[in-house]
Structure 1
Amino acid sequence: MNIISLGAGVQSTTLLLMACHGEITPKPDYAIFSDTGWEPKAVYDHLEWLKKEAERFGIEVVITKKGNIKEDLMRAACEGARVATMPFFIKSKSGKIGMIHRQCTQEYKVMPVRNKIRELLGYKPRQVIKEKVKLWMGISLDEIERIKPSQVKWIENQYPLIEKGMDRISCINWLKRKGYPVPPKSSCIGCPFHDNFAWKQLKMNSPDEWEDAVSVDRIIRRLPKLKGEAYLHRSCQPLDKVYLQEDQLELDLFANECTGYCGT
């Protein structure tokens, strides 16, 4: 079985559409998108379009999910429930800033995709899987540091865009040549890996989603068992108090994010 891990961003969209046009073979059996429940509306709109486009070529886009990461964070802050942490920035009592371990990718992206593959193969939980699955990852040449081996023996990660020598610009150019729209960047609305430009775009262009992120930023200070105060912005200031300027962009942390499962 050949399956695309679909993040619905530029690279994995290109990967799926190239497969639709027979430029990457064999034809994948499915493309699987794991929904965290907190993606921007633009991503959901693009995903709906992409599903219909892939169906024209006989490729099914399957959507799966573990839950809603925003609602789970709210519950954890208010009730003390366990939650898979995002890579929040933490400020200790001494003022030292760090970043906590990221659990969200594994629990809201990796495991739901893996569980859906198990279901599509006809296996029940904990049954030993005998088949080999090739999981195509939407990672391009300029993101080679995101390559990771599979965590399970029955899945082999593959990187068709890298094999074709394609970077992000190559993907965008391919989409434009075919007359396809360039997808929005796929990530949670309040992903701490956003740089200042991304935060500023969210604030200026999507005020409802900006307020959504601000509300989560406020409440994560109440998360239990954290050694310090949690923030979405790297400055460890409340998100709505951060002075956002394009020239503040120093480092694209997104390249380190999500092990190829989201943002691609």
Structure 2
Amino acid sequence: MTLTTQQHSNLAASDLAHTTTDLFAPNEEAEAKLTVLSFGAGQDSSALLELYLDDPAFREQYAPNDFLVVMSDTGDEFDKTYEHVRDVQVRCDKAGVEFQFITADRGFHSDSWQSLRHFYRSKGTIGSKAYPKTCTDRLKLQPIYRFLEHWLAERYGVRCHKKRGFREFAARYGRIRMILGIAAGEESRMADPAKSQHRWYRDSIQPVYPLVDLGMDRAACQKLLHDKGMTVIPSNCKACPFLSLTELEYLRRFDAASLSDWVDLEAAKLAKHADKNAVIVTDSNGEVKLDRNGQPKTKNKNYGVFGTTPLPEKIAEARKLHESWTDAAIAEYRYSHGHCVATAY
């Protein structure tokens, strides 16, 4: 059979469409098959879990089908947080809810980021307010998504390979709803998935913020937990450079050994990079700037936890500021005010 020029053109167009079709385009028609609660063990995510466990209307709206709770271990949480995690594991088990606690020994943390202090110690560095904040991504988000792709492969038979499993899942079952513990009043922390640099994330994950939808701020979450007889402290790493002075005093009073280790880690970093204590300052043309005495101007670029103010000085400042505070007052502040980190995700 002889094909006409037009028929050849139609076949070529058909072949091109076939080769450019995205086999893993997200299924926009499917009802969300899977909802995941990103659990941080703090007050917001704990309130979300309680809403799921106790409120049928909440489940129907946010997680009507398969549901998973997942948390990644930073290795530097407070003892009370780890106690809360154990309690939550028991509660979820009794309720028939799958709770996955991703500790470093499970293989989903990177070699460099086995824990926060492991990274500081092995790299001779320290977390600082002067540096970009990467610990949430390295210790929480990345391990969760590494684990989750393996879990999807086991549960739904998708291929686990460089995030391809997420796109395959989304093509079959629709995007994964990721419930995130951001409270009302923190809307600036809500990230737009369409702006993610990662295609797999844009195509596969739908962030959901029920607390914002429901108008529940941190105080409302605390009340919900308090009414259930639960005392949940805000969750954050102990060696976090974004601690307030009150939180630093809390650490001094209630976990002095941890604070001492943090001081040692900072001292080791400052000693390792002592050559940056007096870096010569130059202008935009590379010319050396001079001080009032005509000597080369220098700047200390050897940053510790709080920049150029050493941690021991900040500890002394926090102690003096709170010398009239009782232990109960410090603990109450820690419970009621939470942590000051405002990561967007």
Partner of 2:256: 207
Normalising by structure 1, we get a TM-score of 0.81
SS in 2 for 1:36: coil
Q: Counterpart amino acid of 1:239?
A: L
Distance apart, 1:72 and its partner CA: 1.8
Match of 2:343 among 238, 251, 258: 258
Match of 2:47 among 14, 20, 37: 14
Instruction: Identify the structure with bigger relative contact order (alpha carbons < 8 Å, sequence gap 6+).
Output: 1
Structure 1 residues 258 and 125, CA, compared in 2 at 3 Å: closer, same or farther?
farther
Q: Is there any run of 5+ residues in structure 1 with no aligned partner, and where?
A: 78-82, 90-98
Partner of 1:168: 218
Contact 1:38 1:189 in 2 (8 A): yes
Match of 1:135 among 154, 175, 178: 178
Distance apart, 1:237 and its partner CA: 2.2
- Percent of aligned pairs sharing the same letter: 20
2 CA distance for matches of 1:169 and 1:112? Answer: 30
Higher gyration radius (CA): 2
* Deviation sequence 1:167-223 (CA, Å, 0-9, x none): 0110111112222x2211211111011000000011012212222322222233256
Partner of 1:95: none
What is the 5 A alignment of 1:1-264? 1-23=34-56, 24-25=58-59, 26=63, 29-64=67-102, 65=104, 66=109, 67-77=114-124, 86=127, 88-89=128-129, 99-122=130-153, 123-128=159-164, 129-130=167-168, 131=170, 132-150=175-193, 151=196, 152-153=201-202, 154-179=204-229, 181-222=230-271, 228-233=301-306, 236-242=308-314, 243-244=317-318, 245-246=321-322, 254-259=339-344
SS in 1 for 2:185: helix
Q: Counterpart amino acid of 2:183?
A: S
Structure 1 residues 182 and 253, CA, compared in 2 at 3 Å: closer, same or farther?
closer
2 CA distance for matches of 1:223 and 1:47? Answer: 37
**Residue correspondences, number:** 239
Normalising by structure 2, we get a TM-score of 0.63
RMSD: 2.6
1 CA distance for matches of 2:233 and 2:245? Answer: 17
Distance apart, 1:258 and its partner CA: 3.4
1 CA distance for matches of 2:119 and 2:45? Answer: 27
Q: Which moved more, 1:200-209 or 1:3-12?
A: 200-209
1 CA distance for matches of 2:208 and 2:268? Answer: 39
1 CA distance for matches of 2:79 and 2:147? Answer: 24
Q: Counterpart amino acid of 2:54?
A: H
2 CA distance for matches of 1:11 and 1:38? Answer: 19
